[in-house]
Amino acid sequence: MGLPSWGSADDTLVVYSGRAERLIQPALDAFQAESGIRVQMLTADSTALINRLRMEGARTPADVLITNDAGTLERARELQLLQPAAIPDLEETIPGRFRAPDNSWIGLSGRIWVVVYNTTMFRPGDISSILDFADPGWKGKIAIPSAGSVYLQTGVSVIRALKGDEITAGFLRGLKDNAGAFVYGKNRQIVAAVARGEVAAGLVNHYYINRHLAKHPDAPIAPLLTDQGDQGMGVVLNAAGAGITAHTKHLTQARALIRFLISPKGQRTFADVNKEYPLNSRVTAAPELLPLQSFQVASVPLSRLAELRDPTMTVIEDVGLR
């Protein structure tokens, strides 16, 4: 994780990124081309980057932190590793539910937790809520993420916040029993298992379905958004986001980068490269996706994900999910 030898710190904006390089580099390249500001990126696990920022303190070369999880950004804010962005028109550009209360981190792109189903084995009307997968009738028919998946942890955190520990624990017990051996560390493995007909359905981030269909257009899979309507809790949405570090040496340039990333041009890169949802309401999602405004999203603010994470892990561990 050592930093490469770069040029003068006076002319380089340093980004610590917990996102894969291929997902964020196109946006950084576009920013460099437009602004003339040089950007260097260090990629690593988001938690490792937070630990690095804590260790480096005021000596850190990092100007901007980018992660794939709002809960991780909120943890960085709680540790006073970030500062309010103070960007003009921010409130009009990114809705409040996708930002920290003090704007020290800002959501850039969203992904929703959906059901991927095999179109020959499952009908969209078979379930109305994700909680229905705890029913014994789904035994041996579903695939789920492993307990270490940040996406599973986020989904369970949202369910806990809306339904309470008892209902959540019952759901997880049913999910564990029904999935059996079909527990995977990667979303793409779940999508592939569903496409092969090994199981009827699985729980994944939406864009993994798009990725699979881009390579295998005839695969018998489709997405289902659950928990809609008056009684529904809405689908779980998490966001990748960014914040300006507390000890940046390039505040003006860091603000310029954030402004670009939430601008229509920056948001378009996230929509095009990975089929994620732009969080700037003036930018439309990729045509193969339902518009973000067309379905119900769970009402739990992303800023609560950090406080929910540890109690959620206790519930997951008590149930024995692996």
Q: How far is CA 41 from the centre of its chain?
A: 20
Residue with tokens 């739990």, as numbered in its chain = 300
Q: Is the pLDDT of residue 83 over 60?
A: yes
Give the SS3 label for residue 185: coil
Please name every residue paired with 109 in a beta bridge, in sequence order, or none if there are none: 240, 278
Runs of H (alpha helix) within the chain: 21-35, 46-56, 70-78, 90-93, 150-163, 165-179, 187-195, 206-215, 251-262, 264-274, 305-319
Provide the token pair at 78. Answer: 């709680």
Q: Is the pLDDT of residue 205 over 90?
A: yes
Mean pLDDT of the chain: 95
Q: Is the pLDDT of residue 95 over 60?
A: yes
Where, residue-wise, is CATH 3.40.190.10 in the chain?
9-110+238-290, 111-236+307-319
111-236+307-319: CATH topology: D-Maltodextrin-Binding Protein; domain 2 (3.40.190)
Encode pLDDT of 186-196 as tens digits. Answer: 999 999 999 99
CA distance 218 to 216: 6
The CATH code that applies to domain 9-110+238-290 is: 3.40.190.10
Cα dihedral across residues 65, 159, 204, 184: positive or negative? positive
**How confident is residue 322, by pLDDT bands cut at 50, 70 and 90?**
confident
Please say whether the beta carbons of 79 and 71 come within 8 A: no
Predicted local distance difference test score (pLDDT) of residue 3: 41
The DSSP secondary-structure symbol of 97 reads G
Encode pLDDT of 232-259 as tens digits. Answer: 999 999 999 999 999 999 999 999 999 9
Query: Structure pTM?
Result: 0.91
Residue with tokens 């981030």, as numbered in its chain = 205
Provide the token pair at 121. Answer: 């084995």
CA distance 269 to 76: 25
Give the SS3 label for residue 166: helix
Count CA atoms closer than 13 A to 285's CA, side-chain side.
Answer: 19
Encode pLDDT of 145-154 as tens digits. Answer: 999 999 999 9
Provide the token pair at 163. Answer: 């339904």
Nearest 5°: the CA angle 5, 46, 214 is 100
Q: What mean pLDDT comes out for the span 34-44?
A: 97
Nearest to 100 by CA among 90, 110, 113: 90
Q: Is the pLDDT of residue 76 over 80?
A: yes
Encode pLDDT of 98-136 as tens digits. Answer: 999 999 999 999 999 999 999 999 999 999 999 999 999
Predicted local distance difference test score (pLDDT) of residue 231: 87
What are the angstrom distances between the C-alpha of 282 and each of 26, 262, 275, 290?
Answer: 20, 10, 16, 15
Predicted local distance difference test score (pLDDT) of residue 1: 40
Encode pLDDT of 288-317 as tens digits. Answer: 999 999 999 999 999 999 999 999 999 999
